[in-house]
Amino acid sequence: MLLRMRQSASIENPRDYAAHTIEDLRLLLLAGSHAEADPRREHFYNLDGGNGSYHIHISPITGNVVLLAKWLRESSNCYTDAEPMVA
């Protein structure tokens, strides 16, 4: 699914992420980004962009976005490049 934010919508930041994180998310949403809907909760989405993944909620009434979590994405080969671990 493609998510695109209206220019007038705002991003709420209840966990106080850095300003550049909010700006990165804003740019992703203004350009339109592929997102996965949370199958258990309406209006909650996960989206990937740049080096991060974001978990957001979009208000069905106002269209405003709430950033709930952000984490760094690992490259797909990060586990294959790692040295074997022995227990």
Percentage of residues in the chain with pLDDT exceeding 70? 84
- Asked, for residue 12, whether it belongs to a domain, the answer is yes
pLDDT at 82: 55
Q: What are phi and psi of 64, to 5 degrees?
A: -70, 150
- Asked, for residue 59, whether it belongs to a domain, the answer is yes
CATH number at residue 68: 3.30.2310
Domain membership of residue 38 as a residue range: 2-72
Number of domains in the chain: 1
Strands 44-49 and 52-58: antiparallel
Cα–Cα distances in angstroms (integers) from residue 68 to residues 1, 6, 28, in the given order:
19, 19, 16
Summarize pLDDT for 1-30 with one digit per residue, the tens: 898 988 888 999 999 999 999 999 999 999
Does this model's pTM top 0.85? My answer is no
